[in-house]
Amino acid sequence: MKLPKSLDELSKILIELGARPVVVGGYVRDFFMHHESKDIDIEVYDIGSLDDLRSALKGLAPIYEVGKSFGVLKMRYGGYDFDISLPRTETKTAKGHKGFDVRTNGYLSFKTAAIRRDFSMNAIGYDIKEERFLDPFEGQKDISSGIIRHVDDQGFVEDPLRVLRAVQFAARFNYTLHPNTLKLCQNMVKQKMLHELPKERVFEEIKKLLLKAKYPSVGFELLDRTGALFIELKALQGIPQDKVYHPEGDVWTHTMMSLDAMSSLKTGDEKKDLILLLAVLCHDLGKAQTTQIVEGKIRSIGHENCLAPTFAFLEKLSSEKSLSEAIAGLIKEHLAPSQLFKQKAKDSAIRRLSIRVNIGDLVLLAKADNFGRATEDAKKRVYPAGEWLLSRARELKVEEEKPKPLLQGRHLISKNMKPGEGFKKILDAAYEAQLEGEFSTYAQAEVWLENYLSFLS
């Protein structure tokens, strides 16, 4: 295993100290998967004290220690983020993610220390001193076979978060859960062990699933198999759709196809992408409550405004109000691009839409919605309504932001008008006229203002 320069320099210091540094966890796993990683975890053996490590490494880079019951030294060096610790054992003592008795011991065997790991692929080590891989649980074999297999029955069930980690790893790497691991996850869900988890930890795993998987649907399908699928999403299964517009099947199938389509449309801005992925995941949740058969036809009238399931689902992940509001705003408008296109809407309608939602983001959501179907246009990745709306929004300079008012209070003051209740009425009328296209420059706005004031007088 070829070591980056910074890791080589750091390990030489540790070896000169008489210690045996072993690279563990994701960095080793990613090496076998041919993935690049900038995070390196090192367990240091044959040493008795974390203080000795701190003293030996303090000249390389600033060091930070984290963890109350055990020490992890964190440092950034040579473009890599290092977590350096002594090997440890963990014993469950109480419910919750903090209910563990942790004991560090620099003289443990690697196998004894690695048994606390979740999956065999994460329990491989690379002994830098001896230049060899340590693989007591056949993680390399499982990586070659594309299998996620837990290390130890007892250790696995002690941390219910591992159910979600199994799901997001399966989606990210397109791997299969070993039957025994799947059965263990199902039993943990039945025993309601996931209820012990704080929403913040659940959200972190869902974020990884959404942002890192090429096909996030794999993870949500697996969540369903474990029995841990959120009830708001489960409710979409079996909800029928008009076969003309949705030949792919029920709302659940469409949502999963749309989610994968959105994954292929990611912008690279993680915050924006997370909002868009959650929006497409939730965009049809309202259909579970609004779908009816009217005169032999399937209708889901007003589903875009039925937001209670969306807020209920998001509340299980985060208490961040701005996140929920951003997602809800996109969902309420997700039909607008197609509707405005069919109506050959005026510029004023597009300007008004830009006040309610970011049009660039909305078009991405609408594209994912339309590509998540089995229609011929979807297969060709063609969405004329979106291209039309983007083109018009760019010309109107409202693709990413709403129009800024040309007339403001200072302009009225310059006309020797005194601030008061009348200001708001005039400014509101001016902005309304601007949205309608009655003026588009300040010079034109001045003319409009003169005419408006003359009319008032």
Average pLDDT over residues 127-144: 97
- Say how far residue 444 (Cα) sits from the centre of its chain: 45
pTM of the predicted structure, to 2 decimals: 0.92
Cβ burial of 320 (10 Å; 0-12, 13-18, 19+) is exposed
pLDDT for residue 93: 63
Q: Closest Cα to residue 107, out of 87, 132, 129?
A: 87
Four-point Cα dihedral 88, 93, 98, 100, nearest 10: 0
Beta bridge partners of 41: 24, 83
pLDDT for residue 69: 57
pLDDT above 90 (res 5): yes
Instruction: For residues 101 and 105, give the distance between their C-alpha atoms in angstroms, rounded to a whole number.
Output: 13
Average pLDDT taken over every residue of the chain: 94
Identity of the amino acid at 245: Y
Beta bridge partners of 414: none
pLDDT above 90 (res 441): yes
Average pLDDT over residues 77-95: 85
Give the H or E element holding residue 321.
helix 321-332
Enter the tokens of residue 77. Answer: 């060096």
Average pLDDT over residues 125-135: 97
pLDDT for residue 446: 93
- Say how far residue 69 (Cα) sits from the centre of its chain: 30
Q: What sign results for the dihedral spanned by CA atoms 320, 323, 326, 330?
A: negative
Neighbours of 46 (CB within 10 A): 14
pLDDT above 70 (res 68): no
Q: Strands 100-104 and 88-92: what pairing?
A: antiparallel
Q: Closest Cα to residue 399, out of 366, 365, 433, 362?
A: 362
| Chain segment 303-341, per-residue pLDDT in tens | 999 999 999 999 999 999 999 999 999 999 999 999 999
Identity of the amino acid at 345: A
Tokens 């959120």 correspond to 230
The answer to which of 100-104, 111-115, 158-162, 252-256 has the lowest mean pLDDT is 100-104
| Chain segment 367-415, per-residue pLDDT in tens | 999 999 999 999 999 999 999 999 999 999 999 999 999 999 998 988 8
Domains of the chain: residue spans and CATH: 5-145 (3.30.460.10), 146-229 (1.10.110.30), 237-403 (no CATH), 409-456 (no CATH)
